[in-house]
Amino acid sequence: MGGFEIIVEGFARALQILFSGDQEILGITLLSLRVSLTATLLGAAFGIPIGFLVARKDFHGKSVVTTVINTLMGLPPVVVGLVVYLFLSSSGPLGFLRLLYTPEAMIIAQMILTFPIVCGITISSILSLNPKLKETLVSLSAPSSWEARVLLNESRLGLITALIAAFGAAISEVGAIMMVGGNLLGYTRALTTAIMLYTNMGEFATAIALGIILLLIAFGVNLFLTYLQMRSRVRRTT
């Protein structure tokens, strides 16, 4: 079978899987969504406040911290996976938590990947706000909570971009969740690790089909986030 036929067959299989409601693949898909969405939200829960503080406060070594965060945006997933594995392993320092080969371990690993992405983009979008806005806030001697709300609101386009980038990194990564999740059937097998397994087994059409499902999910999530982005942009200009 030539390459093109396999891709066509993959599309056909994807449709077949989507309409037949295959339980195993449904489970794999929901796990991927759950792990990556949770990791994105947790990454944002830490990344946005920390990014805000780094952007707003003047402190010694600010540019170093920013550079480190920007560098960590390119963390190789498999290295994160290996380090998290070594920590969570039975003989590792956090082995007593018994988290290895669980969805929670996968969330932890992906959160380490999403945090610097959200944090880095938050820093740059706050730094790129019009300086007059900050001067105005200072001249009004606005309380800091008020200032945070105004600045975060003004940088909301950037914050949504941060979420889109973080979710994209999480849902598509395979190295980290393979190491710490173990790709266990019916438990920690996610879309990307299943794609790798089917590819190794030579079942290319199924692998392509899962890839298409992954793209559809990413598309759905991004459609929603982009809608929010567009809506807030319209409001801002009116």
Partner 1 sequence: MSSLKNNVLVIIVIAVIVVVLTITYKPASPPQRLIIATTTSTVDTGLLDYLKPYFDSRFNANMTWLYLGTGQALEVASRGDADVLLVHDRVREDAFVSSGNGTLRVTVMYNDFVIIGPPSDPAGARGTNATEAMAKIAQAGVGGNAVFVSRGDNSGTNALEKRLWTKAGVSASGTWYVSTGSGMAPTIRVANEKGGYTISDRGSFYKLRSTMNTTLSLVIVCENDTSLLNPYGIILLNSTKYQNIKYDLATDFLLFMVSKQGQSLIGNFTVDGKQLFFPVYGQPESIGLPSENSTVTYLNSLLKSRGLE
Residue 129 contacts partner 1 per CB under 8 A:
no
Residue from 10, 14, 17, 38 in contact with partner 1 (CB under 8 A): 38
Token pair listed for 82: 């290996």
- Cβ proximity of 198 and 14 under 8 Å: no
Residue 15 CB neighbours (<10 A): 12
Residue 27 makes contact with partner 1 by CB under 8 A = yes
State yes or no: residue 100 binds partner 1 (CB under 8 A).
yes
The one-letter amino acid code at 157 reads L
Asked if 192 interacts with partner 1 (CB under 8 A), we say: no
Does position 91 interact with partner 1 (CB under 8 A)? The reply is yes
State the Cα–Cα distance between residues 126 and 29, nearest whole angstrom.
35
The residue among 1 and 64 lying less far from partner 1, judged by its C-beta, is 1
> What is the Cβ-side half-sphere exposure of residue 229, based on CA atoms within 13 angstroms?
14
Q: What is the DSSP string of 2-21?
A: -HHHHHHHHHHHHHHHHHHT
Residue 228 interacts with partner 1 (CB under 8 A): yes or no = yes
Q: Which residues contact partner 1 (rule: CB under 8 A)?
A: 1-2, 23, 27, 30-31, 33-34, 37-38, 41, 89-92, 95, 98, 100-101, 149-150, 152-153, 156, 160, 163, 182-187, 197, 199-204, 224-225, 228, 231-232, 235-236
